[in-house]
Structure 1
Amino acid sequence: MNSQKGCLFIYSGSPIFYDFYNFCYLTTRPFPGHFHELIEQDATGMQPAKEITRILAGNPLYIMSREPALAGENTDVRRILYQKLDTDYHLVFKAPQGDTSLTLYQLNTPAAAIH
């Protein structure tokens, strides 16, 4: 993964992964909970659906998520994310973690990545 240039966006997963790959400032909200947790939707002053739409327009090379959705997840934001994943990304890694799996998706056309 490190041999390619491009950004990682962590929608759901530990932000520690930013330490192991190119951290690009795709957002001023690098903590995944600000996006995927419904309880956080009004906590930071940003609109999670609007911000994730902006981030996804930049075509990050990798996107990390969890499957299936976690309890208390912001389903509107998740729907926006998975519409993009379904059309422009493919699964490259999946690691079971209890009742969920940590997943990593890669942009289908890495040369088109802006970041």
Structure 2
Amino acid sequence: MTDRTFRIMVRGVFEQLTEEQRAELLAEAPDHDVLFARFTPEGHLSYDLRARADFTFRFQESGAADEDLLPATARAEAAAMEWLEQRGYGYKNLRSSAEDLSKAALGKRQRRDRAAG
């Protein structure tokens, strides 16, 4: 059986950042611009701290069955929390959403290409 691709988004809000932490995040903001967001195995962080304190980590994992999605989501949440906590960044309202791309609806072009064979 082929591996399924899972896309997991872990969202939250920065909380009680010190002035130094805020300055650090603002200095690194070009590397975390939402316009360049992507799903990666190690997780890609995006935020726009000038607009609001929200952040999103995007993770890509794989699995062989439906049952693999829940543990993949738990690993993504743990990795996001570890990244934040290692840097001493406060956060709240952490929540996750996950999608199994093998079950995602196909667009018109994808359906046509599949039918063509």
Short-chain TM bin? under 0.3
- Which structure has the bigger radius of gyration? 2
| TM-score, scaled to structure 1 | 0.27
| TM-score, scaled to structure 2 | 0.27
